[in-house]
Chain A
Amino acid sequence: MGLGMASAFARAGANVVVMGRSEDKAMDAAAFLSRTAAASGTCFGVAADVRDPDQVSAAFDVAESKVGPISILANNAGGNFPALAEKISTNAWRAISRIAIDGTFIASSEFARRLKGRGAIGSIVNNSAQYIWTGFPGDAHSASAKTAVATMTRSMAREWKADGIRVNCVAAGMFPHEQAAAMGGLDQEVLDTYAGMVPAGRVGQMQEFGWASAFLCSSLAGPISGQVLMIDGGDSLRRSLISPAYVPPRERKEIWGYEA
């Protein structure tokens, strides 16, 4: 998902710095962008753990020394896996919630301090998910974390409105890349299943996620701030009054599935 956003930014002419925990992976992503995204600007990678304010600040220093002042921040860091709430360990809870919630807060507040320090305007886009307004049984850690990201979006937008810092959020539905690892591969049968369960009849294309993110960060979106753009082909909406029998996650064949 991060690469989808980064590709759209690069295609639109931005210099893109990819920040990740692994410097190698961040560099690989940057090289991929340079190769594929028809990037006119610079793309490179830098390492930081978003849970550590000092590392994030240092990464901003490195990034700004190479491309100049950063004016757009895309918060994409997050993890997810199917889990029964009563089986989520302290470590698992901390990993998912702190990467998404603390990470978004730490990176955003660092970014805002820098912008305010030099009197510059800027834009933030946060990556969230389609299940944030309904909850998601079998995903207590990420469902709560992703909703926190969406509600923080509103609060930060209000707080920094006078400073010209816009904060928006894209809540994505089924874009198979993200779910692939957790749901066991990406063969055609799995893709067809995903496509069939979404009201729109297909999964999302990564470019569509990128366009939404780039649009919100662009000057076309002028004063638009504090918004959560749901892009899910209708997946998050109720689809019937009568549903298949409810099976609790613990009794399902797969925790994120439907069948017993």
Chain B
Amino acid sequence: MSNGAQWLAGKVALLVGEGPGLKAVGEAIVAAGGQVEYGDFCDDLEGAKSVIGAHSGDQTSSIDILVHAGTRRAPVASETMSLADWRDTMKENLDSKFYYSSALANQVIGTDQRASILYLEPASAIDSTSSMASNGAMSSLTKTLATEWARDGIRVNAITSDVNYEGGLAQLQALGHLATYLCSDYAAYVTGASLGIED
């Protein structure tokens, strides 16, 4: 953190997605003593497993934290949107988040390891049906996975804010701090939560 607190010392975070918010979160994780790795969007579970598995060699390199953002595209009228564009949005904003989360959970369940998953979601998705659909799906997925994996020591939370894609410097710093807090053990009792930056 900016005050030098090493809230994530020894933790390894996998970051997937695009946008200034994800970049700010990566910087905050490093400032908090964590290590950051990057992954591309995945279109199937096997792809996600191979990324997560590549880091599973020992305790010092296995993934403890998954931060997954999506992409934000220019809004397209629903009746003119191609299936390919629709699928790309779904892949990046929904499917890939599920695949990576499942891959991480499969590595953690049944071990002493714990994990924290954080989704970065846009708040004002109303201008695009595809974003509205993925936003709704992610809202429920966050809560569902949080409950389903609660006993496995896997926490699942979301930061839902347009700051993820177009934040100013102060907002992005706050986003980084909030993400660091949510992924740290200080927030060990926070799961299934969705928070914003500005209401």
Q: Which residues of A are in contact with B by a Cβ distance under 8 Å?
A: 154, 157-158, 161, 173, 198-202, 204-205, 208, 211-212, 215, 220-234, 236-239
A227 touches B199 (CB 8 A): yes
A157–B199 alpha-carbon span in the complex (Å):
7
A220 touches B1 (CB 8 A): yes
A203–B178 alpha-carbon span in the complex (Å):
23
B147 touches A238 (CB 8 A): yes
A226 touches B198 (CB 8 A): yes
A208–B151 alpha-carbon span in the complex (Å):
18
Question: Which residue of A201, A211, A225, A233 contacts B199 across the interface (Cβ within 8 Å)?
Answer: A225
How many Å from the CB of A2 to the closest CB on chain B? 18
Are A234 and B150 CB-contacts (below 8 A) given A208-B186, A208-B189, A215-B186? yes
29 CB-based A-B contacts, threshold 8 Å? A158-B199, A161-B198, A173-B189, A198-B150, A199-B147, A199-B150, A199-B191, A200-B191, A201-B150, A208-B189, A215-B181, A220-B1, A221-B178, A222-B173, A224-B178, A224-B195, A224-B198, A225-B199, A226-B196, A226-B198, A227-B197, A227-B199, A229-B190, A229-B193, A231-B187, A232-B192, A234-B192, A237-B143, A237-B192
A239 touches B147 (CB 8 A): yes
How many residues in B have their beta carbons less than 8 Å from beta carbons of A?
29
Asked if B177 CB lies within 8 Å of chain A CBs, one says: yes
A228: B residues at CB distance < 8 A:
195
A232–B155 alpha-carbon span in the complex (Å):
12
How many Å from the CB of B27 to the closest CB on chain A? 14
Asked if B9 CB lies within 8 Å of chain A CBs, one says: no
B174 touches A199 (CB 8 A): no
A235–B146 alpha-carbon span in the complex (Å):
10
A158: B residues at CB distance < 8 A:
199
How many Å from the CB of B47 to the closest CB on chain A? 29
B192 touches A220 (CB 8 A): no
B174: A residues at CB distance < 8 A:
220-224
How many Å from the CB of B110 to the closest CB on chain A? 15
A229–B196 alpha-carbon span in the complex (Å):
9
A232: B residues at CB distance < 8 A:
189, 192
Asked if B3 CB lies within 8 Å of chain A CBs, one says: yes
B177 touches A222 (CB 8 A): yes
How many Å from the CB of A149 to the closest CB on chain B? 15
